[in-house]
Structure 1
Amino acid sequence: MGGAQEESGPGPAGTPPGGADFEIRVRGRIGEAFRSAFGEMTIVLRPAETVLVGAGLDQAALYGILDRIQALGLELLEVRRLPGTGG
C-alpha cells in the first residue's frame, strides 16, 4: 500500500538529481579513436592509466559512460565521486 517513500536506489548514497563530478580510471592509455567516444569527458593520460573526469553527471549519464567502457573492452580500475560535488 502507499506509505512513505524509502530510499532504496541502486547505491547507498545515490547520485544527486543535479548530478555530480566523477573520476573514472581505466587501465592503459586509450588512443585517439577511443577518446572520441568520451567527448563529454575531460581526459588525462597517465603512464599506466587514463583518467576520465565528468562534470555534473547524473546516474543515467554515469551508467552510459560505464557501458561505453565495457563495450570498448577497456578495463575499469576505479570510479569515484569527487569531493564537494553534488547535493
Structure 2
Amino acid sequence: MPDEALPARYTIRVRGVLSETLRMAFPELDAESRGEDSVLVGVLRDQAALYGVLAQLEGLGIALIDVSSDPCPKGTER
C-alpha cells in the first residue's frame, strides 16, 4: 500500500479560536485553543480524508496556518 494511503496523525493549526459549533464540524479531530489560534489533532485514514478536512475549513472561511503529520504505528490507528 502506498504511504499516502496509510493512516496518519495530523496536526492542523488554524487562525482564530473556534467556537464549539465549529469544533463539532470536525468530529474526527480533537480541537483546542492555543493563544489566538486553534489546533485540530487526530488520525485521518488517508490523504483524501485530509483534503476533505481542508476543503471543509475553506468552505467555512477558516484560515489555515499549518499542517503536519506523523505516521501512525501499525495497529494504533482508530
Q: Deviations over 1:29-83 (max 9, x none)?
A: 010111110011011211111000121431111000001100000000000113x
TM-score normalised to structure 2 length: 0.81
1:75 maps to a residue whose letter is: A
TM-score normalised to structure 1 length: 0.73
Equivalent residue, structure 2, for 1:52: 40
Equivalent residue, structure 1, for 2:12: 24
**Identical-residue share of aligned pairs (%):** 39
Structure 1: gaps spanning 5 or more residues: 1-6, 8-13
> Any idea what SS the aligned residue of 2:43 has?
strand
Higher strand share: 2
The Cα RMSD (Å) is: 1.8
Task: From 53, 60, 64, give the equivalent of 1:65.
Answer: 53
Q: Distance in 1 between matches of 2:45 and 2:37?
A: 21
Contact 2:17/2:38 (8 A) holds in 1:
yes
Structure 2: gaps spanning 5 or more residues: 74-78
- Runs of 4+ deviating beyond 6 Å: none
Q: Distance in 2 between matches of 1:57 and 1:43?
A: 18
